[in-house]
Structures are given as C-alpha cells and as structure tokens.
Amino acid sequence: MNLINEYSKYSYAILGAGRSGVGIAKFLHNRGIKVFLSESNSEEKIEKEFLELLRNKNIEFETGKHSDKIFDYDIIVKSPGIPMWNELILQLKNAGKKVIGELELSYLFCKCPVIAVTGTNGKTTTVNLIGEIFTNAGFDTKVCGNVGLAFSEILDDINENSIVILETSSYQLYDTELFKPKVSVFLNFTEDHLYWHKTMDNYFDAKMKITGNQDIKDLFIYNYDDEFIKNNLYKYQILAMKSAFTLSNGLDDESLLTGCYLNSGFICYFDNSKNENSKIIKKDQLQIKGHHNIANSMAAILTAKRFNIEDEIIKETLKNFKGVEHRIEFIREINGVKIYNDSKATNPDSTLVALKSFPGKIILIMGGMKMNVNFEIIKMEILDKVKKIIAIGESKQDIFNFFEHLVPVELAFDLNEAIYYSLNSCRSGDIILFSPSYKSFDMFKDFEHRGNEFKKLINAIN
C-alpha cells in the first residue's frame, strides 16, 4: 500500500534504536519528514553503526530515557519488543497518540506486493526459500522483516515491479492496522511468547492479523496439519482465497482453492480453479531435511504458484536450497562426529523439530535465558535419541532437575566448556547438536551471536 503523501505530512517519534527503529528513522528523515528517536538504554548498549548513522544523518535522538518530548509528535512508532501494556505506551494512547510499529509504517510506504510469512517456527527458512524461488524466476526480490534487513531498510530499493518477502513476528503483527499482504502464510502455531501476549488466544489473535485485511484477490496459506490453526480459523472472518498444505496424501476441503500434499513420496500440487494436479518434486530430493522442511517447501510452492512461476524453476530451487544459517546447520565433522548448529531454536518446539531430523546418538547442548519452558514437549524424543545433555546458561539447573533421572546431564560453565564436555562424551557416528530451547539473552546479544560463537569455537578445534 503506497500512502506516501498521506503519511508524509505527520511527524514521528521512534521508540527504540534497534535495526528497525533506526531504519525507519533514516527512511523518514531522508524524505524531509520530522522525526525523533528515543532509546531507553544508554549509548553504550546501542550498536555503533546505528549511532554513527544517526549522527551522520543529523537525526535528533536521545538515549538513557524516554522523555516527554515524544508526546510532541503525531505518530509513535514503537519497537516490536515493547508490549502494548507497557506503561509508557498506555500513557501515549491515553493522550490520544497513534501508536504503530515499523512493519505497519513501512507497508504504508511500500510500492509493491508483499508476501508475509508467520508461524512459531520455520519462518526464516521459508522466507529465504520463497526469496530464492522468486529470484530464480526473474523477480526483483527483497527478503526482509524479522530476518536480516528491516522492512524499512529496503523501501528505497523497490519499485512497483518488486516483490517483498517479509518474515513477520507476532509482536510486529500485533501493531498493524492496515497491513494487507498479497499472500499470507501461517506455518504453524505452538506455545511461545506468552510473557508478552499473556494468553494463547492473544498470541493467536496477533498471528491472525496477517490475513485480517486481505480480500478475495489475496491468498491465505495455512498448515492443514496444525490442529490449533485448523480448529480456530472459524472464529475469524477470512475473505482471502484459502490454500493449505498437508503431509498426508490429500486435502478433503472444498473451501480450498489450491493445496499441496504428499503422494507416493512426491510433493504434489493442485489448483481447483484450473483442474490442475501435478507432481512437483520427490521429497527425498530436498536438501533441507525433516518433515518440517517438507511443510516449509510446500508453503513456498503454493506461494510461487500464485505468481505463476514455472514448476521447473520451483523444482530446481528446492533441489539446490541448502537452508539457512543457525537452523540445523551442519558445521563440520570431527573424528566421525557430525556437529550441527541450531541456535535459532529458542523454544522446545524448535528443538523437537531438530531432534526429529536425526536417527539418534545425539549429544544435546541446550540452555539459555531462564524462563518457563515445557520440557514435556521434547521429553520422549530425548529419551529415544539423546545419549547425554550438556546444559548451559541461566536455565541449566532447571534442565538438570528435570532430565537427571532420564538421561545423563552435565552442567557446563559456558559454551566453550559445553563443547569440551560434548566431544569427550561422544564417539564416531554420534551427533553433537546445539539446540538451546531457550532465548539467548543471558549470555549473548541474540541467537545469531550465539550461533556464530558456537561455530567459531567448533571451527577453531584442530
């Protein structure tokens, strides 16, 4: 939606000096729009490159507090990490201020169609896969959002013929009002982020905003195998055309325009409007392994077919796509032991997906920022496949207390010690899997920092 003229007449206060906050501040400032950035953290906690950008552009900003100055601006653009029940946000809304997020504002300035992907897990893999398919098909493709570049950072590089592939979190979607993607994808839904959303219903409501403004010309793709999604869709007025994917051998739902399913080892696609039914690729030809990646591939296929991309381009991209960094990423083999980095696993559901990708003989390194985690999700898979757990971080004692009577558990001081214990606990044919199940903020800046440190330590081993 291109509402540049409408939204160029307002002034903006940006809350948060992270990538999305600085990105939208720069975008607005470059258009001569009055903008002020406010960051509650001290300058020492802000990325140097962001501070330099703000100073070089002469963008007015403050650090160490949110002063009353933000009340002088027409629209407040908040960091997605700030919940709507935050005291400052409530004060701003009570004062009659419009509060939105960077994703919403970026969309209002966007000149081209948007494909949006959400879900508890698998978003990054799926948006990157969709991005590669569209790039290989000749589209001017921009992958952004909650992965890599912020939405606002690519706005100057697009035109009416571009395609934006957007990873969207529940935090970002919660702050939307007019957001209307051409294609929306809902991969899966499991318990997560309840400290922010408070309840599962609130969390699901936020996710469903991805299709809330879509109409009959748009497409909503969802996971037919996800019982929570399938059983709760009836609560929402969905005007978009519906498409779904399943790992079973068919979709018996007349409301679906298109769909993907498995048949005799093939990922198959159908389009009821064209009386089309075709085999796209053998599932064994995918380089990214695991049932979750079959589902992710199906979501990408359905998205690509909506834009009439040829089957052969889709097939070749799927055959060559190697996955994304920090998600069940193979690092190296040491004395017959294969080592994988799954730092992006910030909840047990993600770790469950990783565990299911291997036959067994796993040394599992897990742990991170202390929070309530449901170990029952991974208990049976760990009993079946894990030889030993190495626990790290603030949560290591919780891990030890739950699993000590089920499998051997060793506590490590840090990641370096965890790797040392892991290598001493395995033999040729085993797998070392770093899949934390927790967020990273106790020891690292984010999951990327955590994963990069793990890889650096592994690759330094002689």
Which run of H or of E encompasses 27?
helix 19-30
Q: Write out 397-455 in H/E/C secondary structure.
A: HHHHHHHCCCCCEEECCCHHHHHHHHHHHCCCCCEEEECCCCCCCCCCCCHHHHHHHHH
* CATH match for 329-459 among 3.40.630.10, 1.10.760.10, 3.90.190.20, 3.40.50.740: 3.90.190.20
**Is the pTM for the entire model greater than 0.85?**
no
- Compute the half-sphere exposure of residue 217: CA atoms within 13 Å on the CB side of its CA: 4
CB 144 within 8 A of CB 150: yes
CB 393 within 8 A of CB 367: yes
Which residues lie below 8 Å from residue 128, measured CB to CB, with a gap of 6+?
A: 143, 147, 321, 324
CA distance 446 to 233: 33
CA 140 to chain centre: 22
User: Tell me, what's the pLDDT at 194?
Assistant: 59
User: Tell me, what's the pLDDT at 199?
Assistant: 84
> Would you state the structure tokens that stand for residue 291, as one six-digit string?
């049932």
Spans of the chain, pLDDT less than 70: 1-2, 191-198
DSSP 44-68: GGS-HHHHHHHHHTT-EEEESS--G
User: Tell me, what's the pLDDT at 197?
Assistant: 59
CB 373 within 8 A of CB 305: no
Handedness of CA 172, 176, 182, 187 (dihedral sign): positive
User: What long-range pairs does 148-151 form, CB within 8 A, spacing at least 24?
Assistant: 149/19, 149/23, 150/19, 150/20, 150/23, 150/24, 150/102, 150/106, 151/20, 151/23, 151/102, 151/103, 151/106, 151/107, 151/110
CB 225 within 8 A of CB 248: yes
Strand partners, 165: 115, 143
CA distance 283 to 280: 9
Terminal Cα-to-Cα distance of the chain (whole angstroms)? 53
Architecture of domain 10-103: 3-Layer(aba) Sandwich (3.40)
Helical ranges in 214-334 per DSSP H: 227-232, 291-306, 311-320
> Would you state the structure tokens that stand for residue 416, as one six-digit string?
């370096």
Architecture of domain 110-320: 3-Layer(aba) Sandwich (3.40)
Which residues lie below 8 Å from residue 302, measured CB to CB, with a gap of 6+?
A: 185, 219, 221, 243, 245, 258, 259, 260, 269
Q: Domain segments of the chain: what residues? A: 10-103, 110-320, 329-459
CA distance 130 to 109: 23
CA 185 to chain centre: 12
Strand partners, 186: 118, 222
